[in-house]
Structure 1
Amino acid sequence: MNKIFSGTVVSKKDLKTVKVELISHKSHPKYKKVIKKEKRLQVHNENFALKVGDKVIIKSSRLYSKNKAFLVIKKEEAKKRLLNQEE
Structure 2
Amino acid sequence: MAKVLQGKVTSDKPDKSIVVTIVTHKTHPIYKKRYIDSQKVMAHDEKNEAKEGDVVVISETRPLSASKRYKLDKIVERPTISESDVKEDAKKAEEDVV
The answer, yes or no, to whether TM exceeds 0.5 is: yes
Shift of 1:8: 0.3
Shift of 1:77: 3.3
* Distance across 1 between alignment mates of 2:49 and 2:37: 27
Change (3 A) 1:48 1:76: farther
Partner of residue 15, structure 2: 15
The percentage of counterpart residues that share the same residue type is: 35
Higher relative contact order (CA 8 A, sep 6+): 1
Partner of residue 34, structure 1: 34
Partner of residue 93, structure 2: none
Q: Structure 1-normalised TM-score? A: 0.84
How many residues in Structure 1 have an aligned counterpart in Structure 2?
80
* Distance across 2 between alignment mates of 1:49 and 1:19: 13
Uncovered stretches (5+) of structure 2, i.e. residues with no partner: 79-98
Q: Which AA in structure 2 matches 1:50?
A: A
* Distance across 1 between alignment mates of 2:49 and 2:43: 14
Partner of residue 84, structure 1: none
Shift of 1:48: 4.8
Relative to its length, the structure with more helix (as a share) is 2
Deviation per residue, 1:19-70 (Å, 9 max, x gap): 0000110111221111211100010001252211100000000111011010
